[in-house]
Amino acid sequence: MATPQHFLWSHSHLQRPFPHTHYSSEVKDVFYEELEEKMRGIPLKEYLILLGDFKARVGADHRSWPNCTGHFGVSKLNQNGHRLLELCSFNNLCVTNTLFATKLHHRVPWKHPRSDHGHQLDLVFTRRKPR
């Protein structure tokens, strides 16, 4: 018996550690170029889920990135977060962590020991449906 097409899943897997914030711009450029190349190889009709610890904070400014973030981001945008949001903008991705109203302690898995500020570091991105 044949399986209906909508139940078939195909996936691509890319496993590579994200460069830390103190790495050079050139190292980060190579990472993003490889990531974009890999994403271009995934047909637009297929689901795309991108997740990991990107060493990035995408912040809570929904107005600046309305197609990429929701209303429930945390903290301030950092340089890696800005770069990730540019990737999202160019590739029709959204940060799903910021789309849902959850308790703050569920959104911030890590707090800085001295400042007690919570950070949303593990991020999940999905491709938005075309409008």
Region of residue 113 (left: phi > 0; alpha: psi -120 to 50; beta: else) = alpha
Give this prediction's pTM.
0.79
- Residues spanned by the domain of 78: 23-127
What's the pLDDT score for residue 130?
A: 60
90 assigned to some structural domain: yes
Counted domains in the chain: 1
Whole-number pLDDT of residue 131 = 52
CA separation for the pair 28, 79 (Å, rounded): 11
- Domain assignment present for residue 75? The answer is yes
Q: Is 10 within the bounds of a domain?
A: no
Within-domain flag for 4: no
Q: What is the mean pLDDT of each run of 10 residues along the chain (131 residues)?
A: 50 70 87 89 85 86 93 88 93 91 78 79 83 52
Assess if residue 98 is contained within a domain: yes
**Residue 2: inside a domain, yes or no?**
no
What is residue 70's predicted lDDT score, i.e. its pLDDT?
Answer: 92
SS3 content of the chain, % helix, strand, coil (to 5): 30, 15, 55
Residue 14: inside a domain: no
Residue 37 included in any domain:
yes
